[in-house]
Structure 1
């Protein structure tokens, strides 16, 4: 007998070795490693773990790092597009289109060659940050710095954004944010990528679709909503009244609650700690103070906890990253997870084709001639 589950809640669609989200316990694993262990690593080590199902030794890490850094150059046609795209376009839209364009420059048979698919995954993980930074520079009328091969993924993105090598503190902060966002089971964007991949379409199509899914405010777009919310509230003193009014109107409080986690999102404490440290350094404590008060109210009144978006917004804002780049940064971090899932999908592929339950008009409707309708 068929089971109807809106949003596929509770339905197991496939097996995966990559990520495990234990919502009732508030635990997240990548390839068997607790997220609290993984934040001790670098993002590049986590990328290796997702692709190869083991942590690298130094030689293996150096090889992957070299491969990532070697693939940062974008085709000139993609650079021309980033320069020509409307300056007021949403960066996530430009990113989606640029990734799709990259597929036009890669004509190899990815559907039959495992090594080529892995090379494409590495290339996308390397290039996605360059796309975001170059568009941001271009819309400001600034020159595009040449890519470098001596910086980590996090440091390189900040370098391209600002034209200068970031501090070790800023690099490590973004590096940890990348780790925390790299993988999260069959979330909407990852599942979208796997559905497209299951048709044996190419990786660029699967990732373009994933970016489209991530854009939504119920998924990756939520972190932008957090800052907009804080800016609307304006001050710590206004928090209580604003939240009370929002709850009375049944408005969604951005960054609070999670579809899977029934307790605290295990990623949130790490981002909270970084947000507190950054705001202390910048002398702009009101954002984290407002966030903490909102989290307290929602926990006490609704039994809901802050999720990863709630504090990542403050972290990115404190790094002087424009709000409309928050979701693209999510995509940069998640690229390794998305591509790892596409590779896994292809390793033992089965086309996704769920059933649906018809609830329309009774069967047997008769067509009435148009002049009688």
Structure 2
């Protein structure tokens, strides 16, 4: 059977599936279905309890209405801003401390933190032959795909992969937290070699380096980076490490773990979730939108020119014609996204070092004027703010990190939160997730095969 016939057959089968699978939108309201696990007022349906993280963007008033408040991101009850400021006061990297806090539930002492860092450094290298057999011999154009396969392949290199005891799961999670940056970096190098015909540089991880330092060391030909570059990437890892149990990938960890499967299957599923353009791929859309804005706005210092083009985007006359200004708005944050505020501060410092202040000011102007433009165009009184994606892609670009690594960086960070949610589900869950779906297909009389037309 040739490919043309196969394509026609697939097209016909697809058309039939689409034709027979539509659901009348009115039925969702009739049966009070919480689409996307969201209530009618936009809040999430409560499906579980967690002690790991919290996302605060509004309060619920006496009449049930949402009252906007400045955004806060909490890790184990601690404000992330306090973690960042404390690390900055000691001129230290903080991602490893955040990972410890998320996993153990308590802030580490200096000795505990050093022991944890030493452990991470000791297992950052991949198992013998893993790089050659699992990465170089099976490269992928998409590094998130390679990362998921790397996680699943790790099962085969684990002497005790099926042990569901907490100590064994903790060991597996710490190894994955340590190795995610190596898996992503080597996946990127393989992609360069096999899909871009460029040189491939395989550096060994250095145990004494932080996660941020190691990643920059592994992806750059000369392995070099500045202290500020590593500090900015470290901040990005901190603020992406956890975001409450309700985000799609963390929920995926809970759902898959509740089925009593192994750690590698649960984490690989989370990687697949984060790969989605509605989840981890959002910062790439911001950068693509900014490419178009920079092409069409001749004077980046002109607020009028910027406003005019943003109006075109909001009115579905420019960029992807969706009416969305990417990097603006969030499901929970209303007045401010604390992650965006923290990253904006570091982005300015990096822009000063890299000579990119003009571009930083362009982003800043968009952050200031886009909310009112969207409210006006969409006739909405919903308050919105810039989210972390507005600045994350800009920061990665200034760090000369290729766009294909933007979402993997998110995964390198979020593996800490996923691991904490994996352990929490094992310890406190105990029931497989089994939400209800209402069947709205009418019952039909069976037709014998000889009578079908």
Same fold (TM over 0.5): yes
Residue from 97, 115, 125 that aligns with 2:167 = 115
Deviation of the 1:156 alpha carbon: 0.9
- Give distance in 2, aligned partners of 1:109 and 1:321: 33
Q: Residue 256 of structure 2 aligns to a residue in which SS?
A: helix
Q: Residue 151 of structure 1 aligns to a residue in which SS?
A: coil
Structure 1, 327-336 or 69-78: larger mean CA deviation: 69-78
Work out whether 1:29 is the aligned partner of 2:74: yes
**Contact persistence 2:118–2:208 (CA under 8 A):** no
Q: Who is 1:4 aligned against?
A: 33
Ranges in structure 1 where 5+ consecutive residues have no aligned partner: none
Deviation of the 1:341 alpha carbon: 0.6
**Contact persistence 1:39–1:180 (CA under 8 A):** no
Q: Who is 2:229 aligned against?
A: 170
Work out whether 1:314 is the aligned partner of 2:394: yes
Work out whether 1:60 is the aligned partner of 2:118: no
Residue from 124, 135, 138 that aligns with 1:82 = 135
Q: Who is 1:71 aligned against?
A: 123
Q: Who is 1:277 aligned against?
A: 349
Ranges in structure 2 where 5+ consecutive residues have no aligned partner: 1-30, 39-43, 59-68, 88-93, 193-197, 317-321, 376-382
Work out whether 1:206 is the aligned partner of 2:263: no
Structure 1, 164-173 or 51-60: larger mean CA deviation: 164-173
- Give distance in 2, aligned partners of 1:309 and 1:356: 33
Q: Residue 74 of structure 2 aligns to a residue in which SS?
A: strand
Residue from 330, 337, 340 that aligns with 1:268 = 340
Q: Residue 338 of structure 2 aligns to a residue in which SS?
A: coil
Residue from 371, 375, 394 that aligns with 1:299 = 371
Q: Residue 267 of structure 1 aligns to a residue in which SS?
A: helix
Q: Who is 2:324 aligned against?
A: 252
Pair 53,12 (structure 1): closer, same or farther in 2 beyond 3 Å: same
- Give distance in 2, aligned partners of 1:78 and 1:355: 41
Q: Residue 141 of structure 1 aligns to a residue in which SS?
A: coil
Task: State the TM-score, normalized to the length of structure 1.
Answer: 0.93
CA RMSD of aligned residues (A): 1.9
**Contact persistence 2:240–2:414 (CA under 8 A):** yes
**1:136-175 deviation per Cα after TM superposition (whole angstroms, max 9, x unaligned):** 2332422301121111111111111113242211111111
Residue from 414, 423, 432 that aligns with 1:334 = 414
Paired positions, count: 369
Superposed structure 1 runs of 4+ greater than 4 Å apart: none
**Contact persistence 2:328–2:371 (CA under 8 A):** no
**Contact persistence 1:192–1:210 (CA under 8 A):** yes
Deviation of the 1:176 alpha carbon: 1.2
Pair 34,350 (structure 1): closer, same or farther in 2 beyond 3 Å: same
User: How do 1:128-167 and structure 2 match up within 5 A?
Assistant: 128-138=180-190, 139=192, 140-162=198-220, 163-167=222-226
Residue from 215, 230, 235 that aligns with 2:275 = 215
- Give distance in 2, aligned partners of 1:112 and 1:368: 47
Pair 198,165 (structure 1): closer, same or farther in 2 beyond 3 Å: same
- Give distance in 2, aligned partners of 1:102 and 1:65: 21
Structure 1, 204-213 or 250-259: larger mean CA deviation: 250-259
**1:253-284 deviation per Cα after TM superposition (whole angstroms, max 9, x unaligned):** 22111112222111111111111221121112
Bigger radius of gyration among the two: 2
- Give distance in 1, aligned partners of 2:417 and 2:217: 23
Pair 295,15 (structure 1): closer, same or farther in 2 beyond 3 Å: same
**Contact persistence 1:82–1:134 (CA under 8 A):** yes
Task: State the TM-score, normalized to the length of structure 2.
Answer: 0.77
**Contact persistence 1:19–1:29 (CA under 8 A):** yes
Structure 1, 258-267 or 313-322: larger mean CA deviation: 258-267
- Give distance in 1, aligned partners of 2:227 and 2:187: 25
